[in-house]
Structure 1
Amino acid sequence: MRKNKVLLVEDDSTLSFIIEDALVREGFDVITASDGEDGLRKFGTDGPDIVVADVMMPKLDGFSMVKLIRAQSPAVPVLFLTARTSIDDLLHGFELGANDYIRKPFQIAELLVRIKALLRRNATLKEQRILTVGDCMLDLASQKLRVGDAQYGLSHIEALILDELFNHTNEVVEARALMFRIWQNDDYNNLNRIHGFIYKLRKYLTSSRNIDILNVRGIGYKLSVKA
């Protein structure tokens, strides 16, 4: 049976060794890199199933590395390890294509749980069908949205939100339901993140003839589909 392959990009050699040892014990194949440039190179040569990366690294930081990774692969899960705590930093990472964050210091057990959850979720997405609503088509596997003749690459979170809305057309989808699907919690601090992703999705849909995302004040959002 093929093992899942993890690309671990971490410049702290002690932490990298600890994480690598834990992952190997859990049955993963692990490729390590000590900076963003090496991580980007090994991503291209080794084809990992998931990327676990520090944010602050020499040569090429984690954000810049993941932006370049996303140009090659829109779907591979990315989990950031970070000491940063500001909402702006977190939003920036998610906009670039991060799937999850874990703040330093952390428990190895929590890291393992999050890695396994991301891999399961990604496997499920690959099995899901293409969704068509009005003049729009969402391909979850490739995280692509087609609006008429235009095509957009989505972040993982944007794709999840749109999938939820496409599956509940003309119905109210609670913001807390979106937060649970994305982060497995309804932490109030995540509400502004949801707003940010909705804002960007609305921009993609401006050229649609019959679809719009409406705010339902104090509750959530509705994908309005006109005949």
Structure 2
Amino acid sequence: MRILIVEDELHLAEALSQILKKNNYSVDVVHDGEDGLDYALSGIYDLLLLDIMLPGMDGISILKTVRSKGMAVPVILLTAKGEIPDKIAGLDHGADDYVAKPFSSDELLARIRAAMRRKGEVMPEDALKFGDLELNATNPKLTVRGKEIKLNPKESELLELLIVRKQAVTSKEQIIEKLWGFDSEAEHNNVEVYISFLRKKLNFLGSETRITTIRSVGYVLEEGKA
């Protein structure tokens, strides 16, 4: 899962990034409102953490623009202000939650999990299942009928994306955006390498689930014997 942090306090932004990465989230960080809006509108994020007071464009304006585009991505507002009117303004404009600084990392993580549950997403700490596959994304490992193998972070993120999308075809561009970020220099061959790694591990485990290449389109998980 990929989270965007828009926070102009550099030390806080870095601390938040490290906390989320340690909990197996992919994270991008920007420090002003205009960049935050550009990133948010890319559509690659599963959740936005927006500070309200930002240079260039405030968090409420980002939120309003995101919602005006019909984007349902969960949004949690971060602010040093604890006044009721600020909280009401954020919620009225479509925020999913509101956390006043200072806050504990455990509280923030719990609120992120709650926001994603309300959206109906499967959280990283939960086991993801498809066919005979069971993916533990918190301590990345893949299990097939009791036999398991460790995954590296990118393998886990890629398999998680394919499982969450189920039978939908996922393009290489979508994979690059989700795993590396939309401004990344990663190329199609980076995707092909990790698809190859996953296929070898599925074969090692004797899985009947396969990653099928849809030529010129992308990849899809399919159940059944390879």
Matched, 1:11 2:2: no
- Residues 4-54 of structure 1 deviation map (CA, whole Å, 9 limit, x = unaligned): 110110000100000000101111111111011111101122520110010
In structure 2, the partner of 1:32 is: 29
The alignment yields a C-alpha RMSD, in angstroms, of 1.6
In structure 1, the partner of 2:106 is: 109
Distance, in Å, in 2 between the alignment partners of 1:83 and 1:73 is 28
Secondary structure at the counterpart of residue 30 of structure 1: strand
Distance, in Å, in 1 between the alignment partners of 2:37 and 2:100 is 22
Distance, in Å, in 1 between the alignment partners of 2:40 and 2:88 is 24
In structure 1, the partner of 2:86 is: 89
**How much has 1:85 moved relative to structure 2?**
1.7
Percent of aligned positions that are identical? 39
- Scaled by the length of structure 1, what TM-score is found? 0.52
In structure 2, the partner of 1:165 is: none
Distance, in Å, in 2 between the alignment partners of 1:66 and 1:88 is 16
- Residues 67-97 of structure 1 deviation map (CA, whole Å, 9 limit, x = unaligned): 0111123421100111112211111111111
Deviates more, 1:33-42 or 1:71-80: 71-80
- Scaled by the length of structure 2, what TM-score is found? 0.52
Equivalent position amino acid for 2:105 in 1: I
Unaligned runs of 5+ in 1: 125-227
Distance, in Å, in 2 between the alignment partners of 1:23 and 1:49 is 13
In structure 2, the partner of 1:47 is: 44
Unaligned runs of 5+ in 2: 122-226
Matched, 1:57 2:54: yes
Q: Which has the higher helix share?
A: 1
In structure 1, the partner of 2:64 is: 67
Secondary structure at the counterpart of residue 120 of structure 2: helix
**How much has 1:98 moved relative to structure 2?**
0.6
Secondary structure at the counterpart of residue 99 of structure 2: strand
Equivalent position amino acid for 2:99 in 1: I
Distance, in Å, in 1 between the alignment partners of 2:103 and 2:37 is 25
Distance change (3 Å), C-alpha of 1:9 and 1:101 = same
**How much has 1:117 moved relative to structure 2?**
1.2
In structure 2, the partner of 1:119 is: 116
In structure 2, the partner of 1:192 is: none
Equivalent position amino acid for 2:3 in 1: V
In structure 1, the partner of 2:156 is: none
Equivalent position amino acid for 2:84 in 1: I
Count of residues in Structure 1 that have an aligned counterpart in Structure 2 = 122
Deviates more, 1:47-56 or 1:67-76: 67-76
Secondary structure at the counterpart of residue 54 of structure 2: coil
Distance change (3 Å), C-alpha of 1:49 and 1:58 = same
Matched, 1:98 2:95: yes
